[in-house]
């Protein structure tokens, strides 16, 4: 998200510089110079297209809470389903009290997606 905000701010900077050259010096106000739309568009693009974000499961309150407590080892900078071996998918002793060893999906994501344990805090 940091990169997307940086892109949005650079676009906004370009628009401000362009408007400063075209408008009269006495008539310039911050409201006429600054347009926040490039930053908003960059943030919306991240949350709409990035594989690091997903729509929240809101079927019921419990599914929403479970979705918020989900952990993933997949994505940019992480593992892929194809490269992850058995050692990565197994429960490690450092997970004790932090990750639930039972709640993990079946299929290719087994052990790669987990949940926070009951009293774990981020």
User: pLDDT tens-digit profile of 73-84?
Assistant: 888 888 888 888
Same domain for 67 and 40: no
Whole-structure pTM value: 0.61
User: pLDDT tens-digit profile of 98-114?
Assistant: 999 999 999 988 989 99
User: Would you say residue 75 lies in a domain?
Assistant: yes
**Residue 52: pLDDT over 80:** no
Residue 46 in contact with residue 4, Cβ under 8 Å? yes
Give residue 76's pLDDT.
Answer: 82
Distances (CA, A) of 75 to 26, 50, 100: 50, 10, 20
Phi-psi region of 56 (alpha: psi -120 to 50; beta: other; left: phi over 0): beta
User: Would you say residue 90 lies in a domain?
Assistant: yes
Same domain for 67 and 44: no
User: Would you say residue 56 lies in a domain?
Assistant: no
**Residue 51: pLDDT over 80:** no
In sequence order, what are the residues at sequence separation of 6 or more whose Cβ sits closer than 8 angstroms to the Cβ of residue 42?
4, 5, 7, 8, 11
Residue 115 in contact with residue 103, Cβ under 8 Å? yes
Q: Could you tell me how many residues make up the chain?
A: 122
Number of domains observed in the structure of the chain: 2
Structural domain boundaries enclosing 105: 61-115
Out of 49, 69, 87, a domain closes at: 49
How confident is the prediction for the chain on average, in pLDDT?
A: 88
User: pLDDT tens-digit profile of 21-34?
Assistant: 998 888 888 888 89
Residue corresponding to tokens 């997949």: 74
User: Would you say residue 122 lies in a domain?
Assistant: no
């Amino acid at each position: 998200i940091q990169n997307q905000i940086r892109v949005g701010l650079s676009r906004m900077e370009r628009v401000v510089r362009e408007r400063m050259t075209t408008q009269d010096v006495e008539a310039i106000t911050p409201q006429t110079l600054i347009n926040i739309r490039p930053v908003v568009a960059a943030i919306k693009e991240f949350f709409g297209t990035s594989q690091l974000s997903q729509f929240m499961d809101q079927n019921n309150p419990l599914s929403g809470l479970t979705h918020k407590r989900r952990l993933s080892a997949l994505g940019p900078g992480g593992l892929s389903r194809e490269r992850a071996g058995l050692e990565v998918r197994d429960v490690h002793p450092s997970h004790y009290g932090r990750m639930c060893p039972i709640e993990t999906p079946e299929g290719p994501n087994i052990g790669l997606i987990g949940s926070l344990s009951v009293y774990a805090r981020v």
